């Protein structure tokens, strides 16, 4: 049995100060650290991570060494123990956020984003170096997706980087956009792993490639001096503070994210924003308008590469999980209908109205910024944005 303290996931931004006085939001310390076999100790990434866990006080004070536990044994133990845990740990993915597991990932780690059936796709490519997320957004799809719920770092980074090189060496059809934010937050725990700096270094020699680091954190200080700033795009998932404060547990606050974006823009990088998921609630227009105004007033508009817009979407089984883990959530009360991909969405007329309003707000203030919809149908694209996607962004 794995015993956890009752506090569970933090509901506000957790601060950890490094030796150079930069402040990171790394979430709560792990209550347990495991490795899948003794061979895991042989990987340089393992040694780097273990050193950083102590440096940033992300392990219990009496921590000496990780426990050797097979991946499947960890999965089974978490499934059993989460059944009797208190919210928000009363689900394997919530429970697993407290346990760091170091292992290797065999097979393909770099792939094209699977998108969603009958939805227009931006042909994004993804790299999975981390699985699960220390943050705990109530709408997070990982609650219905992950089969290995531990907070997992894949330490065979050189194998994964070799896959990245092979993708980058293919004859370019168009600009290749690769990101690390599919099944985790790109930067939430990056000060521990150091993965992003190494990945950016791997991609420096390929002119047709851009690395996107997508986050809800403010953890950028350790990356401001990357060698090639034209190859990396920092992007933030954002929502109005009214949603961030109630539904995006443990994340950096809205103003902190925008301050981080302004910081990397000042350092010479371009940035992106993802208004995703757009959520319907009382006074949503005023709140989204204020959020967009704040972004455009505080981040140099010429540094904003794109702003994407995507609606709330989820598999039907997510709603009871979220309500059980976060009883105060209110995001599922508006009418939703099943789409052709099996995910619940707001009715088309409402999605179109919301996307059109948000796009108009952006374009009226900064018409040069590229906007696009994420995982949406052709009719909604045509109605809300009056065009279809291209691959030039």
In the prediction, which pLDDT does 11 show?
41
Q: For the CA atoms of the chain, what is the radius of gyration?
A: 20
| pLDDT at residue 19, as a whole number | 38
Q: Residues 285-312: pLDDT tens digits?
A: 999 999 999 999 999 999 999 999 999 9
Give the domains, in start order, of the chain with CATH numbers: 16-384 (3.80.30.30)
pLDDT value at residue 120: 53
Model pTM score = 0.92
Residue 138 predicted with pLDDT over 50: yes
The overall average pLDDT reported for the chain is 90
Confidence bin at 117 (pLDDT 50/70/90): low
Mean pLDDT, to the nearest integer, of 190-213? Answer: 94
pLDDT digits (tens, 9 = 90+) for 166-198: 988 887 666 888 999 889 999 999 999 999 999
Confidence band of 4 (pLDDT split at 50, 70, 90): low
For 329-379, what is each residue's pLDDT tens digit?
Answer: 999 989 999 988 899 999 999 999 999 999 999 999 999 999 999 888 889
Nearest in space to 213 (alpha carbons), one of 188, 256, 189, 179? 179
pLDDT given for residue 16 in this prediction: 45
Predicted local confidence at residue 14, as pLDDT: 44
325 pLDDT higher than 70: yes
Structure tokens at 140: 């997070």
Predicted local distance difference test score (pLDDT) of residue 391: 55
At residue 3, the pLDDT reads 57
Q: What pLDDT is attached to residue 2?
A: 58
Q: What is the pLDDT averaged over residues 46-75?
A: 95
Question: Token pair for residue 354?
Answer: 């919301």
Extract the tokens encoding 355.
């996307």
Residue 35 CA to residue 33 CA, distance in Å, equals: 7
- Apex CA 49: angle with CA 137 and CA 90, to 5°? 30
How far, in Å, CA of 352 to CA of 381, rounded? 8
Backbone angle region of 115, left / alpha / beta, with phi > 0 → left and psi within -120 to 50 → alpha: left
pLDDT value at 98 more than 90: yes
Confidence of residue 17 (pLDDT cuts 50, 70, 90): very low
Minimum mean pLDDT range among 8-17, 117-126, 314-323, 373-382: 8-17
Predicted local confidence at residue 25, as pLDDT: 87
């Amino acid at each position: 049995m794995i015993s956890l303290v009752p506090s569970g996931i933090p509901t506000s931004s957790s601060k950890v100060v490094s030796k150079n006085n930069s402040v990171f939001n790394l979430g709560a310390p792990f209550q347990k650290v495991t490795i899948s076999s003794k061979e895991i100790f042989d990987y340089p990434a393992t040694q780097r991570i273990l050193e950083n866990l102590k440096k940033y006080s992300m392990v219990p004070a009496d921590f000496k060494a990780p426990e050797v536990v097979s991946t499947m044994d960890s999965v089974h133990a978490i499934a059993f123990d989460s059944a009797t845990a208190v919210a928000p740990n009363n689900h394997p993915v919530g429970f697993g956020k407290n346990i760091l597991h170091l292992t290797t990932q065999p097979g393909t780690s770099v792939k094209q984003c699977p998108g969603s059936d009958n939805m227009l796709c931006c042909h994004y490519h993804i790299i999975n170096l981390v699985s699960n997320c220390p943050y705990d957004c109530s709408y997070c799809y990982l609650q219905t997706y992950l089969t290995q719920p531990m907070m997992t770092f894949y330490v065979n980074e050189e194998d994964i980087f070799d896959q990245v090189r092979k993708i980058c060496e293919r004859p370019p059809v168009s600009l290749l956009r690769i990101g690390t934010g599919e099944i985790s937050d790109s930067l939430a725990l990056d000060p521990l792993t150091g993965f992003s700096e190494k990945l950016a270094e791997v991609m420096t020699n390929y002119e047709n490639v851009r690395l996107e680091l997508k986050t809800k954190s403010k953890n950028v200080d350790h990356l401001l001096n990357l060698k090639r700033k034209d190859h990396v795009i920092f992007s933030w998932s954002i929502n109005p503070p009214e949603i961030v404060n109630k539904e995006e547990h443990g994340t950096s606050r809205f103003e902190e994210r925008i301050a981080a974006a302004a910081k990397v823009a000042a350092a010479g990088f371009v940035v992106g924003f993802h208004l995703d998921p757009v959520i319907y609630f009382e006074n949503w227009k005023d709140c989204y308008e204020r959020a967009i105004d704040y972004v455009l007033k505080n981040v140099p508009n010429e540094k904003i590469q794109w702003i994407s817009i995507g609606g709330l979407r989820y598999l039907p089984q997510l709603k009871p999980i979220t309500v059980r883990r976060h009883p105060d959530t209110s995001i599922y009360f508006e009418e939703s209908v099943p789409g052709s991909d099996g995910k619940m969405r707001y009715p088309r007329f409402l999605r179109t109205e919301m996307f059109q309003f948000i796009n108009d707000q952006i374009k009226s203030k900064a018409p040069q910024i590229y906007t696009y919809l994420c995982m949406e149908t052709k009719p909604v694209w045509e109605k809300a944005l009056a065009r279809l996607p291209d691959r030039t962004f």
